A and B are shown apart, each in its own frame.
Chain A
Amino acid sequence: AQSVAQPEDQVNVAEGNPLTVKCTYSVSGNPYLFWYVQYPNRGLQFLLKYITGDNLVKGSYGFEAEFNKSQTSFHLKKPSALVSDSALYFCAVRDKGSGGSYIPTFGRGTSLIVHP
Chain B
Amino acid sequence: SAVISQKPSRDICQRGTSLTIQCQVDSQVTMMFWYRQQPGQSLTLIATANQGSEATYESGFVIDKFPISRPNLTFSTLTVSNMSPEDSSIYLCSVGWGTGELFFGEGSRLTVL
Residues of A within 8 A of B (CB): 32, 34, 36, 41-46, 49, 51, 88, 90, 94, 102-104, 106-109, 111
A77 CB to closest chain B CB, in angstroms? 19
Interchain CA distance A102-B102 in the complex, whole Å: 10
Contact indicator B105/A43 (Cβ below 8 Å): yes
A109 contacts B102, C-beta separation under 8 Å: no
Interface pair A88/B40, CB less than 8 Å apart: yes
B residues within 8 A CB of A108? Answer: 41-42
Where chain B touches its partner, the secondary structure class is strand
- Residue with the highest number of chain B CB atoms closer than 10 Å, among A51, A94, A102, A107: A102
Report, as a range, how many residues of chain B touch the other chain: 20 to 34
Q: Known: A32-B100, A34-B101, A104-B102. Is A90-B42 also a contact (CB below 8 A)?
A: yes
B57: interface (CB < 8 Å): no
Q: Which of A34, A45, A103, A111 contacts B45 (CB 8 A)?
A: A103
- A102–B98 touching, CB < 8 Å: yes
Chain A residues with CB below 8 A from B102, complex form: 34, 44, 46, 104
